[in-house]
Structure 1
């Protein structure tokens, strides 16, 4: 499992803004170490929304962590799937929770909410990737069909994937037959698959140690957020940066 001091996310393919300017940002003091509560055994091939099996596990942590139950279920399920399909990667649910906290406050940015199916509404969209200050220029790749912008790509959903990355990596994780970037189940499992693939046989290859034992986060491109100040320990990633916006939206 990934040590608590060794977390930094490299996600240029997920969010493509300012990748050349990635920097490590230390986590604020007071973030406790630890891997998070272990995910209990589940049948990852069960029909329907398989993450529902983690309801009791998630409900027992939601108040302490400030994370919606459905979102916690999604992170736990994604970690469970990867533990069986790519055990050498070692990605934990706290890594995914940390990224989602940075990108969209777990699907709740600007009044959005997460339904029991995992769907996030209203949809969360990033700024146009138009080459502005600190922003990469990515001309439209999807005709606006996914991100609603026919001119430039925008990051989408609770994990803020760009359309091109989603088309390659997106998976259905809630059993509805659709890979949807605006569904937190689908987005969490897709992020786990993406990070493990980018990191190679060991997720440590995609992570980096930070100074003084603090958990760092390489700047997720295009991301700014207002930190919650309570999350997370273990193999987590959260940001110390303060702004009025979250995700890639600013």
Structure 2
């Protein structure tokens, strides 16, 4: 009888230890999400403001029909592994830089600034608030599952923003919500939304369109992002937070030296 009880107790302890081990392994695995390999030696990140410019985007015909970002595939393939940015998101940022160069020639926007924003906002269309069911960009550049923020109803430190799109983009007919890879609210998208993938629709949930919409917002007011004042003004117009600005700058500078963002 005593032996039987001891066996049962031992088995119970084994199960508990196994559960603890599994939880520890899951926590350890999650700790590496969005982080570079622990075996890679990262270089010190520059603190330049504006950030150092990233790798030059090759000239393509951004006025051609269809999804022009796809013409940057070979360029994005070279950078994706080094930066840990999904190749499709990289192409969207590069495409947006080229379009901005034509549309707002005085802006001097670089793709890695857009990438810095994409990192902080949604980890380039992969973070939706659920670490166990992350999003990924589908073949058409839409996060799956969709990335939709909390209602902007004035609670939880949010601004009160009544619905402006009839729920078309965010599914909420009462309040606006931030949506998509670059986290636009529909009322802002109404002013800055652009079609960059050639389908005739400006969609904040599509990475090419979202990146170009972000470029339009950053360049608004004839800003020059090659100056510290212009860059600061642009980023704070996106999000009025000094902490946000520091994180975007750190990520953009990391991408400039072709390594992953880490904070």
Highest CA radius of gyration, 1 or 2? 2
Question: Given the alignment of the two structures, is residue 147 of structure 1 paired with residue 170 of structure 2, yes or no?
Answer: yes
Distance 1:163 1:92 in 2: 25
Mind listing any 5+ residue stretches in structure 1 that lack a counterpart?
1-28, 210-216, 242-250
The residue aligned with 2:106 is 88
Inter-partner Cα distance in structure 1 for 2:117 and 2:87: 16
Residues 195, 206 of structure 1: 8 Å contact kept = no
Equivalent-residue separation in structure 2 for 1:119 and 1:100 (angstroms): 14
Q: State the distance in 2 between where 1:135 and 1:240 align.
A: 26
Q: Deviation at 1:47?
A: 1.7
| 1:117 pairs with 2:140 | yes
Q: 1:208 to 1:167 in 2, by over 3 A?
A: closer
Q: How does 1:76-225 map to 2 (within 5 A)?
A: 76-110=94-128, 111-198=134-221, 200-203=222-225, 204=227, 205-208=229-232, 218=236, 220=239
Deviation string 1:115-172 (CA, Å, 9 cap, x unpaired) is 2322222111111111124211112222222211122110111111111111222111
Q: Which one has more relative contact order, counting CA pairs under 8 Å at least 6 apart? A: 1
Cα distance in 1 for partners of 2:191, 2:59 equals: 29
Q: Is the 8 A contact 1:54 1:73 kept in 2?
A: yes
| 1:70-125 Cα deviation digits (max 9, x unpaired) | 00000000001111222210010011000010111000114111123222221111
Shift of 1:239: 9.3
Task: Give the helix-richer structure, 1 or 2.
Answer: 2
Gaps of 5+ in 2: 1-42, 129-133
Question: Which of 38, 53, 74 is matched with 1:35 structurally?
Answer: 53
Q: What secondary structure sits across from 2:220 in the alignment?
A: helix
Equivalent pair of 1:70/1:115 in contact (CA under 8 Å): no
Match of 1:233 in 2: 253
Paired residues, number: 202
Correspondence for 1:12: none
TM-score by length of 2: 0.68
- With the length of structure 1 as denominator, give the TM-score of the two structures: 0.71
Give the C-alpha shift of residue 240 in structure 1: 8.4
Change beyond 3 A, Cα 1:169–1:206: same
Given that residues 224 and 231 in structure 2 are in contact (C-alpha distance below 8 angstroms), is that contact kept between their aligned partners in structure 1? no
Provide the aligned C-alpha RMSD in A.
Answer: 3.1
